[in-house]
Amino acid sequence: MTPGPDLQQLINTIKADAGSDDELEQLAAAASTISELTSTGDAALGFFVDRARGAGKSWVEISAVLGVSKQAAHKRFADSWTSKPAFNRYTKRAMAVVKAASEVARGDNHDYIGTEHLLLAFYAEPESLGTKALLHHGITKEKVRAAVDEVNPAEEPTDPPKTLDAERPPFTRRTSHVLQGAVGEALTLGHNYIGTEHLLLAFYRDSASVATKILLAENFDETAAWTALRALLEEATK
């Protein structure tokens, strides 16, 4: 196991970041650093809990590994599967994808937004990093549409017509999990915004979702996604 920084190393780093011998400025730097470390640590732990849940591990198994009760583990980590996504840090393109997912679901006459609708919605923003990564790997809209139709085809209009949410169909539990998980992916990359690249990586937090199964069937696993996105991010930075 790779050791983290010891106390003295952390203190030295904080002092250097403060850039001052003033005790209050050093305290402020310490508070900021510890807050960031706590947020990052929580996000990292949540990431691996998400992976365990997505792989079908029970809360009993997860709580045993963490050394806490099942109730404590569930209370701390279950929100990403159930709570409403916070969109305040989503980029315009990421929000456009979320909005397009609603239109995809409506077009299929589905009264919910699943991960498959979210994946198809990426193609509404062809210049986004997430969509470019898909296209560079040869995963076209047509391929995804065909794969979705095999497992969850569009429903025929009903008589009377199906009543759909006036604003948008609700997200499924798995879709909410992806939208929440994108926040953790952004933290992993040290970004203070949520883009389509983070949404794409968040699919891999749940190996049982329709979207993830489609990506894996196209030989586009998490490692391939990371590689493609890193190259695109480096290019964008240049």
Q: Which residue has the higher pLDDT, 38 or 31?
A: 31
Contact 70, 60 (CB under 8 A): yes
pLDDT digits (tens, 9 = 90+) for 124-171: 999 999 999 999 999 999 999 999 999 999 988 765 555 554 567 899
Cα 10 to Cα 31: distance, rounded to the nearest angstrom:
12
Read off φ and ψ for residue 44, nearest 5 degrees. -65, -45
Mean pLDDT of 41-58: 73
| Pair (58, 118) in one structural domain | no
pLDDT score at 117: 97
Question: CA end-to-end span of the chain, whole Å?
Answer: 35
- Average pLDDT score over the chain: 85
Residue 60, C-beta contacts closer than 8 angstroms, at least 6 positions apart: 70
Residue 85 forms part of a structural domain: no
Evaluated on CA atoms 61, 66, 70, 76, the torsion sign reads negative
Fill in the DSSP letter of residue 181.
H
Could you give the percent of the chain with pLDDT greater than 70? Answer: 86
Sorting pLDDT into bands at 50, 70 and 90, what band is 228?
very high
pLDDT score at 218: 97
Q: How far is CA 183 from CA 9, 189, 192, in A?
A: 29, 10, 9
Q: Which residue has the higher pLDDT, 71 or 153?
A: 153
CATH number for the domain that contains residue 130 = 1.10.1780.10
Residue 181 forms part of a structural domain: yes
Residue 17 forms part of a structural domain: yes
Measured in residues, the chain has a length of: 238
| Pair (159, 222) in one structural domain | yes
pLDDT at 58 over 50: yes
Give strand pairing partners of 113.
171
Q: Which residue has the higher pLDDT, 167 or 190?
A: 190
Q: Which of 9-23, 31-45, 70-84, 131-145 is predicted with the least confidence, judged by mean pLDDT? A: 70-84
Could you give the percent of the chain with pLDDT greater than 90? Answer: 44
Q: Can you give 18-64 as a three-state secondary structure string? A: HCCCCHHHHHHHHHHHHHHHHHHHHHHHHHHHHHHHHCCCCHHHHHH
pLDDT at 224 over 60: yes
| Pair (198, 109) in one structural domain | yes
| Pair (173, 204) in one structural domain | yes
Domain containing 156: what range? Answer: 92-237
Domain end: 77, 104, 120, which one?
77
| Pair (127, 36) in one structural domain | no
Overall domain count for the chain: 2
Residue 225 forms part of a structural domain: yes
Residue 82 forms part of a structural domain: no
Sorting pLDDT into bands at 50, 70 and 90, what band is 190?
confident
Q: Which residue has the higher pLDDT, 193 or 73?
A: 193
| Pair (169, 66) in one structural domain | no
